[in-house]
Amino acid sequence: MKTTFFVLIPIMLIACGQKKPDTVQKSMTEKWSVSMANSVMTRYDSLIHYLDNKNPKWQYDVAFVGQAIDRLGTLDIKYSKYMEDYVAYFVHNNGSVTDYDPLEYNLDRINPAKNILTVYKRTGNPVYRNALDGFAKQMETHPKTKTGGFWHKKIYPWQMWLDGIYMASPFLAQYGKEFNAPQWFDVVAHQIELIYSKTVDTSTGLLYHAWDESKTQRWCNPETGQSKYPWSRAMGWYTMAIVDVLDFLPENHPERDSIITILQKTCEALLKVRDPEKGLWYQVLNQGGREGNYIEGSGSAMFTYVFAKGARKGYLDKKYMTIANDAFDCMIKELITRDDQGLLTMHQICGGCGLGGNPYRDGSYEYYINEKKVDNDSKGVAAFIMAAAELDR
């Protein structure tokens, strides 16, 4: 299987790279990250009102867009300002944050705090430090499983979701490094290793979307607590969390090598389910070719980013840089179009998938493939910008 896959790589490079010579040629004169960022900023002149003009949200995916666009700030300050204005709007002089309630105990609300940390490092404004301490305090009392894993949300008791590792762990690792709070390194390492052990399918190396310690949810296997399928974006969140956490986890941390091994194993598993013709990944990773399944944009972009960064940093074999560039070509071919005004659109992005709740999401195959697909959904667009910037494409 592995040998066959890597024989296919040169063919896939040709297939994805040559069928749209006009598009690829244009990308050589303007960075794809810049083109997508400009498209976002043309459609939404303010990140504050991204998607919702009346009710600005302190929301993980909006912040993800800001985080991605901010990476282009060295090219033009307008990209950083786009994110910084969002932070300034939400954070108040007393350190409180609009639309954030720490007692909600929702990991999704932690992710935007990474942008506060970025702005604090640039400005030194103590207001931002106060806000950052507030997010850390939430995590000090955030409910946990008996095994020490953070609940995804208070409304989802005893549950860990792969998504949540990205939402909180990179922030906590960076907070620990910036503010001499090394206790968070052990916490973050435990989250990464625990959820891996609880969600891994040992026969494939893929990770199921979530785990219910109580084993009572209708979406889980009553014997293992694992959900039923490996969802593309969930594994994208998880692998992105690892490569970003490693930026801050000390080189001598006792779990660092173990976490890198997890990354390597997980990425090898992802290679085995990469579509050999389209060069990307399906919504339900282990059901390629099954009726209703489709190539999904956000997960594909996240894996591309992870492969590129992991190879650059030395966590992954150098072959992953070639694979990342090839996958990026395939994204351009399969998922990206440009309109008459020059604005990019990214297609085939799952709007969102969760488990439980009301109405109840049962985690079935039919559930995952029937959730709405959204052009230019924030999770796909942000991941595309990050992959393009990482590859300098």
For 230-250, write each residue's pLDDT tens digit.
999 999 999 999 999 999 999
Residue 170 to residue 177: CA distance in whole angstroms:
11
Q: Between helices 297-313 and 232-245, what is the axis angle to 10°?
A: 30
User: Average pLDDT in the 296-315 region?
Assistant: 98
CB proximity list for 258: less than 8 A, separation 6 or greater? 189, 193
For residue 256, pLDDT beyond 90: yes
For residue 283, pLDDT beyond 50: yes
Q: Which two tokens stand for residue 331?
A: 């994204």
β-pair partners for 338: 344
Residue 205 to residue 189: CA distance in whole angstroms:
19
Residue 149 to residue 147: CA distance in whole angstroms:
6
For 63-112, write each residue's pLDDT tens digit.
999 999 999 999 999 999 999 999 999 999 999 999 999 999 999 999 99
Note the pLDDT of residue 20.
41
For residue 9, pLDDT beyond 60: no
For 258-282, write each residue's pLDDT tens digit.
999 999 999 999 999 999 999 999 9
User: Average pLDDT in the 332-338 region?
Assistant: 98
Query: What are the residue ranges of helices labelled H in the chain?
Result: 2-18, 21-29, 32-43, 60-70, 77-90, 113-123, 126-141, 162-178, 183-199, 232-245, 256-272, 297-313, 319-335, 365-370, 378-391
Question: Tell me, what DSSP letter sits at residue 149?
Answer: P
Note the pLDDT of residue 235.
98
Q: Which two tokens stand for residue 220?
A: 């889980």
User: Average pLDDT in the 11-32 region?
Assistant: 52
For residue 157, pLDDT beyond 90: yes
β-pair partners for 200: 207
Q: How far apart are the first and last CA of the chain?
A: 30
Q: Are 161 and 355 in contact (CB under 8 A)?
A: yes
Q: Under DSSP, is residue 60 helix (H, G, I), strand (E, B) or coil?
A: helix
CB proximity list for 110: less than 8 A, separation 6 or greater? 135, 138, 139, 167, 168, 171, 172
Note the pLDDT of residue 89.
97
Note the pLDDT of residue 54.
80
Query: What are the residue ranges of helices labelled H in 287-360?
Result: 297-313, 319-335
β-pair partners for 210: 161
Task: Please give the mean pLDDT across all residues of the chain.
Answer: 93
Note the pLDDT of residue 15.
53
Walk me through the domains of the chain, giving residue ranges and CATH numbers.
2-391 (1.50.10.10)
Using 50, 70 and 90 to split pLDDT, how confident is the model at 51?
confident
Using 50, 70 and 90 to split pLDDT, how confident is the model at 128?
very high
Backbone angles phi, psi at 231, to 5 degrees: -90, 135
Using 50, 70 and 90 to split pLDDT, how confident is the model at 3?
very low
For residue 57, pLDDT beyond 50: yes
CB proximity list for 236: less than 8 A, separation 6 or greater? 298, 299, 301, 302, 303, 306, 383
For residue 158, pLDDT beyond 70: yes
More confident residue, 27 or 249: 249
Q: Which of 190, 204, 181, 202 is nearest to 160 (CA)?
A: 190
Instruction: Specify the residue for token string 């919504």.
Output: 283
Note the pLDDT of residue 52.
76
User: Average pLDDT in the 372-383 region?
Assistant: 98
Residue 129 to residue 116: CA distance in whole angstroms:
8
Q: Between helices 77-90 and 113-123, what is the axis angle to 10°?
A: 110
User: Average pLDDT in the 349-367 region?
Assistant: 97
What dihedral do alpha carbons 135, 141, 145, 148 form, nearest 10°?
80
